[in-house]
Amino acid sequence: MSEKQQSILERVGNTSLFALRKIVPSNGARILVKLENENPTGSMKDRMALAMIEAAEADGRLASGGPVVEYTGGSTGVSLSLVCAVKGHPLHIVTSDAFAREKLDHMRILGAKLQVIPSDSGRMTEKLTKDMIEAARVIAEATGAFWTDQMKNRDQLAAYHAMADEIWSQTDGRIDGFVQSVGTAASLRGITEGLRRHHDRIDIVAVEPAESAVLSGGPSGAHKIDGIGAGYLVPLWHKNIAQTIERVSTEEAMAMAFRLAREEGLFAGTSTGANVIAALRLANRLGPTATIVTVMCDTGMKYLRAYGAKLGESFER
């Protein structure tokens, strides 16, 4: 260790790239998964939370010890809770009972104050997203807290440009396609921008819930894939990010998450399940010589209650 005292935040990024061995396309194409569960909170959101806070500190929008507020489905909130705990910023989170209880508990343990907005039977909807955003705006206005406002915050894109550079280096530039699910659209947009600086012919696939496929022109609906599918066209999205948009249902995503655990030993969330399904589809389109990269967005440890309930349903049948 150097003389400078290190913090856990220095462990954000530089995650591994893992080749799937059993869940592979029939044509023999390669699928590589970026293991973002290796970040301190077990989520890729550590990258963007750190980038948003440090950018605001650097330009004076966030003073030393100043308060922070954000709306979040969970992973961003956990990551912000970690960053704010280490840096000494009080944090107020607006979230909902639609999201994994483990994430809400994790935020509280890290010291965040939570306002929990009731959902429609535990489902993610456009109304819930907008209610959470409005609640965060009101708190920021009333308290003077710095509002990270993840749906609009462009500071986070730099974190994903760096992630793209990691992917390019780890693949030695041999990447034919990239697949990522869309929540705020920041990770897909930032990684795509970063990859296209190296090579502009990489196939980019966006993934969204089939039940709320607004990116591909469908109606807004309710789903249970944590962290993606806001139910409307989010500000950071634009149609030129991806060549293809894949729809994956909650049931498909959860089934693939279970397969990843049982066949590959990768215990991930449902958004990762959706990513792998879409990556398999792209791999079959591109052919046997292709290399596809997708993301393990977070660890399945964040979803133990939901997964346990699903397993209970299977046993009852």
Are 123 and 180 contained in the same domain?
Answer: no
Whether 317 is in a domain gets the answer no
Looking at residue 5, what is its pLDDT?
A: 64
Are 178 and 301 contained in the same domain?
Answer: yes
Instruction: Give the model confidence (pLDDT) of 242-299 as tens digits.
Output: 999 999 999 999 999 999 999 999 999 999 999 999 999 999 999 999 999 999 999 9
Q: What is the mean pLDDT of the segment spanning 115-122?
A: 89
Whether 64 is in a domain gets the answer yes
CATH number of the structural domain spanning residue 307: 3.40.50.1100
Looking at residue 73, what is its pLDDT?
A: 76
Percent of the chain with pLDDT over 70: 97
State yes or no: pLDDT of 38 exceeds 80: yes
Whether 2 is in a domain gets the answer no
Domain stops at, among 147, 179, 207: 147
Q: Residue 148's closest CA among 221, 214, 87? A: 87
Are 66 and 115 contained in the same domain?
Answer: yes
Indicate the average pLDDT of the chain.
Answer: 94
Are 299 and 166 contained in the same domain?
Answer: yes
Whether 88 is in a domain gets the answer yes
Are 103 and 250 contained in the same domain?
Answer: no
Terminal C-alpha separation, the chain:
54
Instruction: Give the model confidence (pLDDT) of 39-57 as tens digits.
Output: 999 999 999 999 999 999 9
Looking at residue 99, what is its pLDDT?
A: 84
State yes or no: pLDDT of 3 exceeds 60: no
Bridge partners, residue 246, by sequence: 207
Are 54 and 23 contained in the same domain?
Answer: no
Contact 118, 96 (CB under 8 A): yes
Whether 154 is in a domain gets the answer no
The span from the CA of 88 to the CA of 113, in Å, is 14
Per the structure, the count of domains in the chain is 2
Are 122 and 198 contained in the same domain?
Answer: no
Looking at residue 315, what is its pLDDT?
A: 44
Are 86 and 224 contained in the same domain?
Answer: no
Whether 1 is in a domain gets the answer no
Range of the domain at 139: 45-147
Whether 34 is in a domain gets the answer yes
Looking at residue 317, what is its pLDDT?
A: 47
Looking at residue 125, what is its pLDDT?
A: 86
State yes or no: pLDDT of 2 exceeds 50: no
Are 142 and 178 contained in the same domain?
Answer: no
Looking at residue 311, what is its pLDDT?
A: 79
Are 32 and 169 contained in the same domain?
Answer: yes
Instruction: Give the model confidence (pLDDT) of 202-242 as tens digits.
Output: 999 999 999 999 999 999 999 989 889 989 999 999 989 99
Are 188 and 108 contained in the same domain?
Answer: no
Residue 135's CB is within 10 A of a number of other CB atoms, namely: 18
Are 24 and 54 contained in the same domain?
Answer: no
Q: What is the mean pLDDT of the segment spanning 58-73?
A: 95
